[in-house]
Chain A
């Protein structure tokens, strides 16, 4: 009798301890995000905004590539069109800030819908080529349309009074990120997520189960475009100036890489990888240049080309050793925090 009570209490103590550890882990993670916001001043507020915007873009790519299995190498076009739309509405039309962001999301959705309709007819390598060509075309046409983008000087994208300060803007970006994370979570836990999994694996099986394959593919493109356009809008007002240079092909490649390094279909992994990719070029060169000991033959110019090199290195490591990305590495931790049995 006493033995059973003993066992029972021990079990209860352990679950309590587990709960405490779990809550502590979550709080520590949140604190890590809050720390630079509270103590970092405007510099770090801007950096947190940038990380959040990149994470939103990463999740947008995750919808398309991770959930629907469609590759996009033209994502800079969706984000860019969103950014220029928002800037145009804010600076030329004088529309309120919220309308600018909504316009950015709408522009992204419509653009993605058009690309999606073309993409329905092609797969794999050809889809990659179509999206690549679309992105490059958008760069040379829409982004060079002087009335819309302000030409080489770029378009101004003033913030509204409410989010004028960098801190408030960072909070806005984080709020958008939370909303996008929420929709991604609901997506995978409801019928759309299951349908997209089926479409990704076998379109014929999906259709015999009553899944409208065409509709879901287009839907995935539209939702991805909506989120990308929204991220573009946030990006425009983050910098307060948008230039065509910001949306060259390399960034689209970088965004696909960060989704892969983070781990497709892993929300946490993508947020971490996106933040890392967003901050690396800002933080690393300054940090290295500030070190007391400088190795010979190296100077600041070299430090500035280091981040792209590191990114490629990370991709190789991920592809070779853990194809599930950072999400795969973190799987044991997330499983523990969710409290699932091993």
Chain B
């Protein structure tokens, strides 16, 4: 489904990603883990086209998207959530979800501006679809509330609802479990599996929450200092000596590595 070959990204003298390759098969849930500053979010930004890596190719759904701008990759079916949330504060939950439906509105911006006949009908349909997604995520109570007035957890769910509303083929989730309680994280695991099975979505997620990764991921890539440390099934990864060293023993080295690509 998604394939990255030899991604290299530099910010000035800082090598953020170094010859990174990864493959996510269709219908798989793949984890991307690594200590802070390892370049996980930068990797997402390269995959979605926000950063243009100096070297490497990205192919998605059987075609090379390396040169496509972000919105065209989104149109091809790539949806993502953000570590610091991708909801627009000044819009309500419903409006946010309808915003995420942007590419499947089925009418042009000019037609909407002129208020042509079909656009009214489509708007009503989109609103109904949005309500369905909102109910699925249990956000019905707050559908009309502005995102800025909602607590973090709810905004996070809204972000997830938005990713789904764009009718994607693949989800890229940036720390979906951060700030969630253990029970909520467990529920999230169920949701992710259900999404994969029912909507046949492919999922790539950055996650620190080890139980969640172990529970849902079919395969895990471990990143350290922009390089691939190792890859494998979650059970193998948990026993891997270098991974343990990177997470536990490498605390001093991580601090040195600085605050690069996780912004």
Contact = CB atoms under 8 A, between A and B. Distances in A.
A282 B156 CA distance: 54
Interface stretch (B4-12, B104-112, B179-187, B204-212): B104-112
Contact of B102 (A182, A183, A195): A195
Nearest to A212: B71
Interface string A179-216: 00011001101111011011001101111111111001
B2 to A, nearest CB: 15
A197 B100 CA distance: 12
A223 interface: yes
A192 B113 contact: yes
Contacts, number: 94
Q: Helix, strand, loop or mixed for chain A's interface?
A: helix
B70 interface: yes
B114 A209 contact: no
Contacts of B112: 186-187, 189-192
Given A205-B86, A208-B48, A210-B166, A219 B91 contact: no
Interface residues of A, number: 27
Interface in B47-105: 48-50, 69-71, 74-75, 78-80, 82, 86, 88-91, 95, 98-103, 105
A207 B109 contact: no
Interface string B116-141: 00010001000000000000000000
Contacts of A198: 88, 99
B109 A195 contact: yes
B115 interface: yes
A197 B90 CA distance: 8
Given A190-B123, A191-B102, A223-B113, A208 B107 contact: no
Contacts of B49: 207
A210 B167 CA distance: 11
A209 B98 contact: no
Contacts of B48: 208
Contact of A197 (B70, B79, B91, B119): B91
Given A205-B88, A208-B50, A210-B102, A194 B95 contact: yes
A208 B70 contact: yes
A213 B71 contact: yes
Contacts of A207: 49-50, 69-71, 74
B173 interface: no
Given A191-B112, A197-B88, A198-B88, A209 B162 contact: yes
Contacts of B79: 208
Nearest to A219: B109
Interface string A152-196: 000000000000000000000000000000110011011110110
Interface of B: 48-50, 69-71, 74-75, 78-80, 82, 86, 88-91, 95, 98-103, 105, 107, 109, 112-115, 119, 123, 162, 166
18 contacts: A186-B114, A190-B113, A191-B112, A192-B113, A194-B98, A195-B109, A197-B88, A197-B91, A197-B95, A201-B90, A207-B50, A207-B71, A208-B79, A209-B74, A210-B71, A210-B166, A212-B71, A216-B109
